[in-house]
Chain A
Amino acid sequence: MNLLHDALIITKRQLLQLSRVPEVLIFSTIQPVMFVLLFRYVFGGSIATGQPGGYVQLLMPGIFVQTVAFTLAATASGLAEDMTKGLIDRFRSLPIARSALVIGRTLGDSTLNIVVLFVMGLAGFIVGWRPTSGIFKISLAFLFLLAFGYALSWVGIYAGLSARDARVVQNMSFLITFPLTFLSNAFAPTTGMPHFLQYFAEWNPVSTMVAACRTLFGLQNHFGVTAGSFPSQHPLIMSLIYMVLIMAIFIPLSVRKYNNSAKK
């Protein structure tokens, strides 16, 4: 009970930070909205989809997944900053559960994701995105996105605890998330990629997440993923497996890293 109480206070701290520096929230929303406009109007016209409703139907799930994946960088750099500025020492000298700090941060980033996803959904709607599967499945898709973002924020926690400088870790996270989101079915069909990349793109968790969201938003087309492989057949299950895997690996790793920092 205390753990949750303490974690929520850390979460509240993060939200307070956002209210004190609203630019952070504004820019973390503008960037994905820019991606929406860019792909919808610049590339969208040249990508033949055969999708009723056009490219934007396939694009939006891709952008949603990309956005929650990019939050990882914010988690990591925020934590790295606390580490380097000595703030973490203060937290660790308080009579609170040690994991409260990291749990609080992952919850804070999820809250940020809710806001950003909401704004992007709105932007998508304005440029013609119309999910057809009904309110239940649409909500389920967003829950799925939040869960994926939450799982990834533990990767961010680990990166943040390992890094020595907030800027380095921000660039590092970008180096990981950028190729992951583009070597996928998020923006273009994987069938146009060279063979070895196709293989990677199909098993890429970003692809399975995008495919799962497309299904939940009522689309049949998983954007060129060749039928037959397990992830393209069962994107929902595969995505769930990935989330569990990511958390099973990175939660214990992060907790260990955090506790070990007491020995140095």
Chain B
Amino acid sequence: MKAILADNLIKTYRNGEVRALNDLSLDVEEGTVLSVLGPNGAGKTTVVRILATLLIPDSGSASVGGIDVIKHPDKVREIIGLSGQYAAVDETLTGWDNLVMFGRLYHLGKNAAVKRAEELLERFSLTDSARRPIKTYSGGMRRRLDLAASLIVQPKVLFLDEPTTGLDPRGRQEMWGVIEELVTGGVTLLLTTQYLDEADQLADDIVVIDHGKVIARGTSDALKRQVGGERLEVVVEQSHVANTMEIVARVSGVSAILDEGLRLVSAPVITGASALIEVLRLLDGAGIHPLDIALKRPSLDDVFMSLTGHAAEDEVVAEKTKKARGRK
């Protein structure tokens, strides 16, 4: 069964001037994780807001857990959890206060709400800070508490809108751990992200969107293959360039590219780290000591480059100027 289904969603703003969603469709099989990958302004948040009953599309239809989100939003709200880009919790209250309050709003009895709050605090390693106002929490702690608040009644379908944007690497790692654990518990998850590695780590399936439209869909491996996998990059002394080109090409299977100014030799590889070791071994055997060597994973930019022919970054800038103008 499809736990999430979106059909030809269209959403425009400012009388059709801005098309946030342009005929977007997607579906998520029950118990699986779909990552919606795209740059800022691609329409990720708009999709989530429609599916979570916060926004009504101009046209198209959507259902969550088999329930129509436009016709029966109240029923949908009973089975979903939502955790957005901002930590949507009351900052002056403590973590404990917040979870108990949300528990009560989910119509748990007083004791049940307290019990559930304490379970969740424990599970998200927040017990020590439970009695402190959220204001004093780190970014990672806030996000974890926000996520906890969306799990009070064990939702069937969970929406996470850019759960790690703005977190430091440690906070990000912790958040990933928590999300992975959730997924093992069998929840259906739709997760939006700007990071390919995040989608790669957490999702079964990835949908890439741009300008409110799905431009690619597949497993992370399939997408990477489409992008060309990783690139191996080696910087060597001028005298070793020719030899290095040959070695890299031999491992890669296709001819290497040279950036003459940087003396940087590069080629796509599909075997990742073992290709790196192989190249190092061969270079060593030939008596070449690389000045720098790296395995570059494809970024969102690379995905966008290969799928749309334009960089994702440009889009971010364009969107920001658009927003800035809109504010004036």
Contact = CB atoms under 8 A, between A and B. Distances in A.
A87 B55 contact: no
Given A94-B105, A263-B55, A17 B80 contact: no
A259 to B, nearest CB: 10
B80 A16 contact: no
A interface: dominant SS: helix
Nearest to B80: A93
B101 interface: yes
Contact of A86 (B77, B88, B92, B94): B88
Contacts of A2: 107
A48 interface: no
B54 A93 contact: yes
A27 to B, nearest CB: 15
B221 interface: no
Contacts, number: 73
A42 interface: no
Interface string B138-155: 000000000001100000
Contacts of B150: 90
Nearest to A13: B101
B67 to A, nearest CB: 12
B82 to A, nearest CB: 5
A95 interface: yes
Closest 10 CB pairs of A and B: A86-B86, A90-B88, A95-B77, A86-B88, A95-B78, A93-B82, A17-B92, A9-B104, A87-B88, A93-B52
Interface of B: 13, 49, 52-56, 74, 77-78, 80, 82, 84-94, 97, 101-102, 104-107, 133, 149-150
Given A86-B86, A264-B55, 18 more contacts: A5-B107, A12-B101, A13-B93, A17-B92, A20-B133, A85-B86, A86-B87, A86-B88, A87-B88, A87-B89, A89-B84, A90-B89, A90-B102, A91-B105, A93-B54, A94-B105, A263-B56, A264-B13
Interface of A: 2, 5-6, 9, 12-13, 16-17, 20-21, 85-87, 89-96, 262-264
22 contacts: A2-B107, A9-B104, A9-B105, A13-B93, A16-B93, A20-B92, A20-B133, A85-B86, A85-B88, A86-B84, A86-B86, A87-B88, A89-B88, A90-B102, A93-B80, A94-B77, A94-B106, A95-B74, A96-B105, A262-B53, A263-B55, A264-B13
